Chains A and B, each alone.
Chain A
């Protein structure tokens, strides 16, 4: 089942912060975050695993609440380069497929 992302779209000015949320109705093993810029392939940002392990890029932060089956991606001091569509993907077990949400469109303006 596809995870739910919120908001659907957000517009920020440079330097502002944003939070993108991802939630699932099922218990999760892992949450994955990717960013896709227009006309480009999705690029990996972070993986959050059940139990607290995180793997990702240093400048990106995220949280994973296992009990609530929710994850949030935190974008601080946004830059123009942060613009794109952010996808969260979830998996129920360690051998399950990754199902992605519909995406959150983020636009950073000067």
Chain B
């Protein structure tokens, strides 16, 4: 059974540009959550999607957006990149609609560097 796949693994962008990250969940999983990880900040919640609907949203500016497709694959978009957006972006998939009482499987992440 394939795990959670995130592409690309590494990305270097210039300040002001936009970027799209992709996450393919485990087959059969319908919930995808996105997290931003930076040293000392742990895992900051961005948003959660289930069956193409955003169920929860974290405290990030509107420059961060996402969507989920009918095959459960999810994309995250960051517009007008800032230096502070440099981070590891992780997505996690789970089977249930409620992420809170099921095991989540994390992908390897996309390392975004903004220069």
A interface residues (Cβ-Cβ under 8 A, vs B): 2, 29-30, 32, 34, 40-44, 47, 49, 55, 87, 89, 91, 93-103
Contact = CB atoms under 8 A, between A and B. Distances in A.
A11 B63 CA distance: 40
A41 B42 contact: no
A100 B43 CA distance: 6
B48 to A, nearest CB: 6
Interface in B46-91: 48, 55-58, 90
B101 A95 contact: no
B7 to A, nearest CB: 14
Interface of B: 4, 33, 35, 40-45, 48, 55-58, 90, 92, 98-109
A97 B56 contact: yes
A83 to B, nearest CB: 17
A102 B43 CA distance: 7
A71 to B, nearest CB: 14
Contact of A102 (B35, B42, B45): B42
Given A2-B42, A42-B90, A87-B42, A98 B33 contact: yes
9 contacts: A42-B90, A42-B92, A95-B55, A95-B100, A97-B33, A99-B45, A100-B45, A102-B40, A102-B41
A94 B92 CA distance: 17
A55 B42 CA distance: 23
Contact of A98 (B4, B40, B100, B105): B100
